[in-house]
Amino acid sequence: MVDAVGVSLLGAGNVGGGVITALAGARERHAGHVGRALELRFALVRDANRDREGIPRDRLTTDIEAILSDPQTQIVVELMGGEQPAFDYITRALTSGRHVVTANKEVMAKRGAELLSTAAAHGVRLLYEASVGGGIPIISPLSRDLLANEITSVTAIINGTTNYMLTAMSKQGADYSEVLAEAQRLGYAEPDPTADVDGIDAAYKLAILCGLAFHVEVLPEDVTRQGISRLTARDILYASELGYTIKLLATGRLVDGELVATVAPTLVASGEPLAKVDGVLNAIQIEADLVGRVVFEGPGAGSAPTASAVLADVLDVARDLVAGRVERPEPARRRVRVRPPEEHRSRFYIRVTVADQAGVLARIAGALGEHEVSIASMIQFEADADERTAELVFTTHLAGGGALSTAIEQIGSMDVVREVGAVLPMTGLGAR
């Protein structure tokens, strides 16, 4: 039994500040949940001379040793972000016998298996609910509530910046550059938006989800990734006319014991639940043998939702400490083969700008057919009357990624083809 549960923070930025405020403002409620008070011991910061609301200045430190040498710190909350020095600090906290709660998607995606092994070896817990989906509870359900299920797929919208941008493109009819500038002005996109718009952030989160859902070892570089920067307002319009909405989907599934993991702008049938997730919201859809389909939806970012997930983990660990329960290790993860893009199978949307002349459609259809890519539908739009070009939009039946790639390369080399635009996977059945 303990008199109070000591908690120290690594980082006191937006999320850390939210955690500090919540700890100070809900002491009695937290104590009621845990059975003991939560005591904020220290916060590791860059500048210990700057006052921070909710914590005395003498509890601020720039030295990690002040936390690791504090006998009353039982839970370390890492909110620094980035791989280093966060990985080293988390490792040192675990090996010192302290439990760790983290919101760090990068370190969990790249080094999570190693850290979980370290935690198990030292009889402590590493919790990371806030690393995926912000305030959406998903790590805990995958770790406990859905453990009796064989999960067959994970499909998610897990980047609020790109979901806001694609929603704006759909509702405003605006192009990529316009909505990016708007998202940056509103604070939804960083000055350098690369991690979001190129799908890097989503790939980190998908790697974490696949590891939990399928009990496999997967790294972010295993994820096949395509960003949204080549999308145009025309793609959004054409998708809508076909009965689809374009979303940046992170998808993981096991096929014959092998992992398929992708992040790509995808045409989602308008009647599907994920097609209706707009703005900065996130959603994660799980398919499993016992429960069928389950969808988790909510705010995927922001200091308050992320602090909510962090504190839920802190309270979980604190209850175990007070009750004297032992750690609960995750199921062992196995290595599986990750299928490369050429072995993926999907339906596809293809937009091609061509010379507006006879015989072009037959040549393109012939190239697709030569590589066993079957056309499901085709729509022709006039692209530029002065330039005498037209825009062709094809959808395909189920096709292999390698066959499609070869066909697209052949089509792109034709003298009548001005541009091969977006080539996007499709999911579900649209209006056509």
Is 105 among the catalytic positions?
Answer: no
Could you tell me what percent of the chain has a pLDDT over 70? Answer: 97
- DSSP at 97: T
Could you give the CA distance from residue 44 to residue 8 in angstroms, rounded to a whole number?
Answer: 8
Residue 385 has pLDDT above 80, yes or no: no
CATH number for 110: 3.40.50.720
Residue 332 lies in a domain: no
153 and 103 together in one domain = no
For the segment 153-209, what is each residue's pLDDT rounded down to a tens digit?
Answer: 999 999 999 999 999 999 999 999 999 999 999 988 999 999 999 999 999 999 999
Q: How many CA atoms lie within 13 A of 249 on its CB side?
A: 27
Kindly name the residue from 105, 110, 171, 205 that is annotated as catalytic: 205
157 and 292 together in one domain = yes
Where helices occur in 128-186 by DSSP H, the ranges are 139-140, 160-172, 176-185
315 and 346 together in one domain = no
316 and 422 together in one domain = no
Of 105, 81, 91, 73, the C-alpha closest to 14 is: 81
What's the pLDDT at 429? 54
119 and 82 together in one domain = yes
174 and 294 together in one domain = yes
- Residue 202's domain spans which residues? 145-298
Q: Which residues pair with 101 in a beta bridge?
A: 77, 127
Q: Compute CA distances 38 → 102, 124, 300, whole Å.
A: 17, 18, 26
What's the pLDDT at 14? 87
CATH number for 178: 3.30.360.10
Q: Which residues pair with 39 in a beta bridge?
A: 6
153 and 171 together in one domain = yes
- DSSP at 162: H
307 and 292 together in one domain = no
Contact 119, 327 (CB under 8 A): yes
261 and 172 together in one domain = yes
Structurally, how many domains does the chain consist of?
3
Residue 247 lies in a domain: yes
Tokens of 11: 């980082």
For the segment 293-336, what is each residue's pLDDT rounded down to a tens digit?
Answer: 999 999 877 788 888 899 999 999 999 999 888 667 777 888 99
Q: Which residues pair with 347 in a beta bridge?
A: 426
What's the pLDDT at 215? 92
